[in-house]
A and B are shown apart, each in its own frame.
Chain A
Amino acid sequence: MTRTARLWSLVGLAGFILLPWYMVPGGFLSFGWMADPAGEGASGLTSVLEGRFWLSGPGLALLAALAAGSLLKDAQARAKAWVICGIAGLALLAAQGLLILGTGPRLAMLGDAAQPGMGLGAFVTALALLFVTTTGISARGQGRGDAFVTGLVGLIVALVGVFVFYPMAFILIRAFELKGGAGFGVSEFLPRFLSSETWSLACLAGGWCGPAINSLALALATGLGTTLLGLSFALIFTRTDFAAKKLLRVLTILPIITPPFVIGLALILLFGRAGTITEFLHWAFGMEKTRWLYGFWGVWLAQMLSFTPIAFLVLIGVVEGISPSMEEASQTLDADRWQTFRRVSLPLMRPGLANAFLLGFIESLADFGNPLVLGGNFNVLSTEIYFAIVGTVADPAKAAILSMILLAMTLGAFLVQRRWLGRKSYATVTGKADNGQHASLNPGLKWACYATALPWAAFTLVLYALIVFGSFVKLWGYNHSFTLAHYKQAFAISFRNGVHFTGAAWDSYFSTLGIAAISAPLTAMVGLATAYLLVRQKFAGKDAFEFSTMLSFAIPGTVIGVAYVMAFNFPPIELTGTAIILILVFVFRNMPVGVRGGIAAMSQLDKSLDEASIMLGANSFTTLRRVILPLLGPAILAAITYSFVRAITSVSAVIFLVSARHNMATSFIVGRVENNEFGIAIAYSTVLIVTMLAAILALQAVIGRRRLRRSDRVAA
């Protein structure tokens, strides 16, 4: 314990003395700052000597923590000193950052002091202060005296605080803005929050419902639908001897790796008033050509296509993990296969079902691309929020209030899910001899799964064949002569004087892949670490902690984007225009998927595994690394895959964050779709789909399957 605290104090001091405190133009690794130790490369210490006295606080706090570690003899007193030093240092660091801005201080008594955004030195110092604090807390006996656990909790709380709560505060405070710039107050908040326009139920009487009701209905339908379909697919995979599992696997992945607007576009070409299938039905059966697609059903269909794979990814790990012994026990006790499924397997799948539903529900609430293309006059909260920010009359207060409604719905769904799961145990992977075979499904259930999942798979296949077809024809829907022009325009390479990537799409393609590749493993790490804490550790405020990690997912991307610009465009943390802000927004927006998947998978691992490892002398870090992580293969895979893919396909959050230097593929595609250049948009999407598919297959090969038991065969 003393060693840990001393180590972090030293690391922090080194950061304070050696590294440049402020943001360095050109990036840290350009090393230009080394040539200028007094100017832009000035460390915390140098800056203090140059007259920025307010930076001395954090340095002194670290020094005090170091001194306390060596001088104080009593362990409790030492721990207390660390906590006090750490918190004081962090508070001073935050206070100076928030008070002294780029253009000058907020308080007149500080004169005309100004400073740029914090850089690496500040980051290392803050991190060290944080860990000194958490080490102190654990030395006082919290978190079962485990410095690793308290450190992890502290780190995640700090990250969520800085990158979720801090930016959200900027936007949510505007919900209390009074009309006409009259300052802030609560007098207008409640009437607007509960306004009849938003909550109207008029559609029951033949009119239009408010966006809040529409969103809620859509989210419930999508959540239920995706969970059921995901379950069908998962059962087919694990409990039947279906022949073409490989193909099915690819098909279930395709929709999540599809850039936005593409599914909507394909649906219009099939089911729109002038769509192929509509025309055929009109010709064959004289059915009237209608515009049914533009509304609830169209959006729902598109969301089902987009989000079923997420449910599947969560469920497959859970269904796979259920111990065959339990099923065998059930059958030994003379239950038939249906009873076994109904009474044993299904209840054990509850964490998977609940988490899959929650993800589908929230995804649907926050989805923006599908309602935009197919919504017609069916308004949902996410599009209303977008247009409250970018519409002809900008109304940030309305956007903030609608975001709060969205958050309230997420909170509601989260609480219901908690109630449903209750306090039961779902552990089935116990480490005990467990060498049975999964019961296969009874015929009725098997055919029910086939009947739901296979037509769906066929539908997906048709849709994607159509998309690939669309990228090779001149004008999709009208002129179907073959052309490679779209690919040439986007991905041309010329070989004069070496290789030149002359196509219009290369820049955004490379930066998208780079950013996705960096953010995906980070997302998985943060997400799974959080899941580990939630499932395996006990600490005060766990429920609030759990909900706070879900927040960023529930907030629509547009709001997150604007909040990030407002929060991180100015010192103390100035990140706009860099690639870092894009990485951060992806990590914290996609983290909840890692958390949910991790929770679902970890609730199946029996605690006795951890306990055995701890008893054999391993600490909690080693246990996590050597016992739990290897059993979490599918969850890790799901988290990495999902965040990699989301970084490539998400659109609403990045619209405000992409800069001229760091453009993203989706914003490029959206521009082309708006410009009616479907050919190049679809060609680019096809290339992205192929890229992502290759990446996913490679990931699967690397991470591989976990071996839960000697064989995962299905009993015939």
Chain B
Amino acid sequence: MTKKLYISALALSAAMSASAAMAEELNVVCSNEQTWCDLMAQNFEAATGIDVAMVRKSTGEVLAQLRAEKGNPKVDVWWGGTGDPHIIAANEGLTQATGVDVSGLLGWAQNMTNMTGGKAVGVHVGLLGFIYNTEVLAEKNLPVPACWRDLAKPDYKGEIQVANPNSSGTAYTELATLVQLFGEDEAFKLLAEIGANVNQYTKSGSAPGKATARGETTIGIGFMHDMVKLKKEGFPVEIVAPCEGTGYELGAVSVVEGTPHLEQAKKWVEYVISAEGQSPGLEVGVYNIPSNPGAATDPEAPDMASVKLIDYDFATYGASDTRERLLARWEKDVKGAGGAIEE
């Protein structure tokens, strides 16, 4: 046993030293979908010759890790995922300004950069909407929902699924969107009414869409680009952009404060905001809106011109104190009010 152990230890350390011997390297933590992460890393390596080591983690996990590693980070760049945690990381000094030129990007991406003092750069926008399963809807003989207010109809009792804003950034975006659309008191009243129809508050933001696709629930609330992907995969679903207007997330890329690979990290940021870097997303089913106006988009994907959008106030609703207040109120007024939730 000792001999075997020794050999494997030897092999392992040989592998470790081999990877450390590489000259130019970059450690990327990616919060996008795995295929998109892999493809971007591959393209970047081909374009720059820099060796990329990549790992995929959700935004909450990355934020927790960056906080724990503060002062001696083990990752250089954080790419993708909703913008709120990037903004929090920027405010806590976990990421740094890079001075990358963003003048060629769309307006909202530049806003993101200005809001964080250049620490987070916008890479994509994802619009909020809902999805319904056509088969189940027909079977249950329910009307097609078109607006946020439709979801409050008693017809849908026990048919709607949405994530819990305490664990999911997607659901928090929905909460903040309704508050901005209807005003705070009205929004919580509506949320409580919708809550009466909700069968489960899921932990992950993308779970309601998937459950809808598989017929586990009839209607799900989430980001529309995820839903386009489900539809293209062949599930019997339709996507709805709410008639009152909707909010959106702002995906971002940030360079970690204290990275030893600042030059390479900058190159990464420049690459992921270039049209050349963003266009290949379509190959792997990324249907959100890229921040570079030159990047290719899919005709079926939602675009900002055809959907009624609110002017989402990231500075206010991304701030920790607003968050804590709204979430506490949600816990009391919406979840506490109960509904069709099963035991």
Q: Which residue from A25, A659, A674 sits with its C-beta under 8 Å from B58?
A: A674
A672 in the interface (beta carbon within 8 A): yes
A667 and B63 contact, Cβ closer than 8 Å, known pairs A208-B343, A661-B19: no
Contact indicator per residue, chain B 208-248, by CB within 8 Å of chain A (1) or not (0)? 00100111110000000010011001110000000000000
Contact present for A30 and B69 (CB under 8 Å): no
Chain A contacts with B in 302-333, Cβ cutoff 8 A: none
Which residue on A lies nearest to B169, using beta carbons?
Answer: A392
A659 and B74 contact, Cβ closer than 8 Å, known pairs A667-B56, A674-B58: yes
Which residue on A lies nearest to B74, using beta carbons?
Answer: A577
B273 in the interface (beta carbon within 8 A): no
Which residue on A lies nearest to B230, using beta carbons?
Answer: A676
Cα separation A576 to B55 with both chains bound (whole Å): 14
Tell me which residues across on chain B come within 8 A of A393, comparing CB atoms.
166, 320, 323-324, 327
Contact indicator per residue, chain A 376-392, by CB within 8 Å of chain B (1) or not (0)? 11100001000101111
Stretch of B21-29, B107-115, B178-186 on the interface side: B21-29
B282 in the interface (beta carbon within 8 A): no
Contact present for B53 and A659 (CB under 8 Å): yes
Q: Which residue from B12, B201, B324, B327 sits with its C-beta under 8 Å from A579?
A: B12
Contact present for A660 and B53 (CB under 8 Å): yes
B103 in the interface (beta carbon within 8 A): no
Cα separation A716 to B15 with both chains bound (whole Å): 56
Which residue on A lies nearest to B331, using beta carbons?
Answer: A197
B60 in the interface (beta carbon within 8 A): yes
Chain A contacts with B in 504-545, Cβ cutoff 8 A: 504, 514-515, 517-518, 521-522
Cα separation A203 to B342 with both chains bound (whole Å): 12
Stretch of A564-572, A593-601, A613-621 on the interface side: A564-572
Tell me which residues across on chain A come within 8 A of B4, comparing CB atoms.
521
Cα separation A562 to B338 with both chains bound (whole Å): 33
Contact present for B16 and A579 (CB under 8 Å): yes
Contact present for A675 and B35 (CB under 8 Å): yes
Which residue on A lies nearest to B60, using beta carbons?
Answer: A390
Which residue on A lies nearest to B342, using beta carbons?
Answer: A291
Contact present for B61 and A294 (CB under 8 Å): no
Cα separation A524 to B216 with both chains bound (whole Å): 43
Cα separation A203 to B213 with both chains bound (whole Å): 31
B38 in the interface (beta carbon within 8 A): yes
Cα separation A578 to B167 with both chains bound (whole Å): 30
Contact present for A27 and B27 (CB under 8 Å): no
Cα separation A51 to B169 with both chains bound (whole Å): 51
Which residue on A lies nearest to B323, using beta carbons?
Answer: A393
Contact present for B69 and A518 (CB under 8 Å): no
Tell me which residues across on chain B come within 8 A of A273, comparing CB atoms.
215-217
A660 and B29 contact, Cβ closer than 8 Å, known pairs A562-B68, A676-B229: yes
Which residue on B lies nearest to A290, using beta carbons?
Answer: B342
Contact present for A25 and B20 (CB under 8 Å): yes
A295 and B230 contact, Cβ closer than 8 Å, known pairs A393-B327, A569-B69, A579-B16: no
Contact present for B342 and A565 (CB under 8 Å): no
Contact present for A377 and B167 (CB under 8 Å): no
Contact indicator per residue, chain B 313-343, by CB within 8 Å of chain A (1) or not (0)? 0000000100110010000000000100111
Q: Which residue from A569, A576, A668 sits with its C-beta under 8 Å from B34?
A: A668
Cα separation A384 to B11 with both chains bound (whole Å): 39
Cα separation A287 to B295 with both chains bound (whole Å): 51
A671 in the interface (beta carbon within 8 A): yes
Cα separation A208 to B341 with both chains bound (whole Å): 10
Tell me which residues across on chain A come within 8 A of B65, comparing CB atoms.
565, 656
B168 in the interface (beta carbon within 8 A): yes
Contact present for A569 and B200 (CB under 8 Å): no
Contact present for B11 and A514 (CB under 8 Å): yes
Contact present for A656 and B68 (CB under 8 Å): yes
Tell me which residues across on chain B come within 8 A of A376, comparing CB atoms.
200, 342
Which residue on B lies nearest to A567, using beta carbons?
Answer: B68
Contact present for B69 and A295 (CB under 8 Å): no
B72 in the interface (beta carbon within 8 A): yes
Cα separation A376 to B61 with both chains bound (whole Å): 21
Which residue on B lies nearest to A476, using beta carbons?
Answer: B214
Contact present for A29 and B13 (CB under 8 Å): yes
Tell me which residues across on chain B come within 8 A of A390, comparing CB atoms.
58, 60-61, 63-64, 167
Tell me which residues across on chain B come within 8 A of A660, comparing CB atoms.
27-29, 52-55, 75
B17 in the interface (beta carbon within 8 A): yes
B43 in the interface (beta carbon within 8 A): no
Cα separation A495 to B14 with both chains bound (whole Å): 24
Cα separation A479 to B213 with both chains bound (whole Å): 13
Q: What is the size category of the interface that chain B forms with chain A?
A: 35 or more
Contact present for A518 and B5 (CB under 8 Å): yes
A136 in the interface (beta carbon within 8 A): no
Q: Which residue from A268, A514, A522, A676 sits with its C-beta under 8 Å from B206?
A: A676
Chain A contacts with B in 72-111, Cβ cutoff 8 A: 102-103
Q: What is the size category of the interface that chain A forms with chain B?
A: 35 or more
Chain A contacts with B in 275-292, Cβ cutoff 8 A: 290-292
Tell me which residues across on chain A come within 8 A of B20, comparing CB atoms.
25-27, 30
Which residue, A203, A296, A372, has most C-beta atoms of chain B within 10 A? A372
Whole-angstrom distance between the Cβ of B323 and the nearest chain A Cβ: 6
B57 in the interface (beta carbon within 8 A): yes
Cα separation A393 to B84 with both chains bound (whole Å): 11
Contact present for A655 and B215 (CB under 8 Å): no
Cα separation A522 to B13 with both chains bound (whole Å): 17
Contact present for A569 and B68 (CB under 8 Å): yes
Chain A contacts with B in 665-681, Cβ cutoff 8 A: 667-668, 671-672, 674-677
Tell me which residues across on chain A come within 8 A of B54, comparing CB atoms.
660
B48 in the interface (beta carbon within 8 A): no
Contact present for A28 and B71 (CB under 8 Å): no
Tell me which residues across on chain A come within 8 A of B215, comparing CB atoms.
273-274
Whole-angstrom distance between the Cβ of B174 and the nearest chain A Cβ: 12
Tell me which residues across on chain A come within 8 A of B290, comparing CB atoms.
none
Contact present for A27 and B13 (CB under 8 Å): yes
Contact present for B166 and A377 (CB under 8 Å): no
Q: Which residue from A103, A274, A477 sits with its C-beta under 8 Å from B71?
A: A103
B9 in the interface (beta carbon within 8 A): yes
B172 in the interface (beta carbon within 8 A): yes
Contact present for A29 and B199 (CB under 8 Å): no
B1 in the interface (beta carbon within 8 A): yes
Cα separation A219 to B1 with both chains bound (whole Å): 36
B10 in the interface (beta carbon within 8 A): yes
A274 and B233 contact, Cβ closer than 8 Å, known pairs A579-B16, A660-B28, A676-B210: no
A478 and B234 contact, Cβ closer than 8 Å, known pairs A208-B343, A675-B35, A677-B35: yes
A201 in the interface (beta carbon within 8 A): no
Tell me which residues across on chain A come within 8 A of B341, comparing CB atoms.
377
Cα separation A674 to B9 with both chains bound (whole Å): 33
A394 and B200 contact, Cβ closer than 8 Å, known pairs A103-B71, A661-B53, A672-B34: no
Cα separation A518 to B213 with both chains bound (whole Å): 42
Which residue on A lies nearest to B139, using beta carbons?
Answer: A289
Whole-angstrom distance between the Cβ of B12 and the nearest chain A Cβ: 6
Which residue, B10, B17, B34, B61, has most C-beta atoms of chain A within 10 A? B34
Cα separation A570 to B73 with both chains bound (whole Å): 10
B157 in the interface (beta carbon within 8 A): no
Q: Which residue from A294, A394, A576 sits with its C-beta under 8 Å from B74?
A: A576
Chain A contacts with B in 16-32, Cβ cutoff 8 A: 25-30, 32
Q: Which residue from A294, A394, A663 sits with its C-beta under 8 Å from B67?
A: A394
Tell me which residues across on chain B come within 8 A of A295, comparing CB atoms.
342-343
Tell me which residues across on chain B come within 8 A of A208, comparing CB atoms.
343
Tell me which residues across on chain B come within 8 A of A675, comparing CB atoms.
33-35
- List 20 contacting pairs A-B, 8 Å CB cutoff, sorted by A: A25-B20, A29-B14, A102-B72, A291-B216, A387-B166, A391-B166, A392-B323, A475-B234, A479-B234, A521-B1, A521-B4, A521-B5, A562-B64, A565-B68, A576-B74, A579-B16, A659-B53, A667-B56, A668-B56, A676-B229
Instruction: Name 9 extra pairs, CB < 8 A, besides A30-B13, A475-B235, A676-B233.
Output: A26-B16, A29-B14, A393-B323, A504-B38, A570-B72, A656-B65, A659-B74, A675-B34, A676-B226
* A-B complex: 7 closest residue pairs judged by Cβ atoms: A390-B60, A660-B53, A274-B215, A30-B17, A29-B13, A565-B68, A387-B167
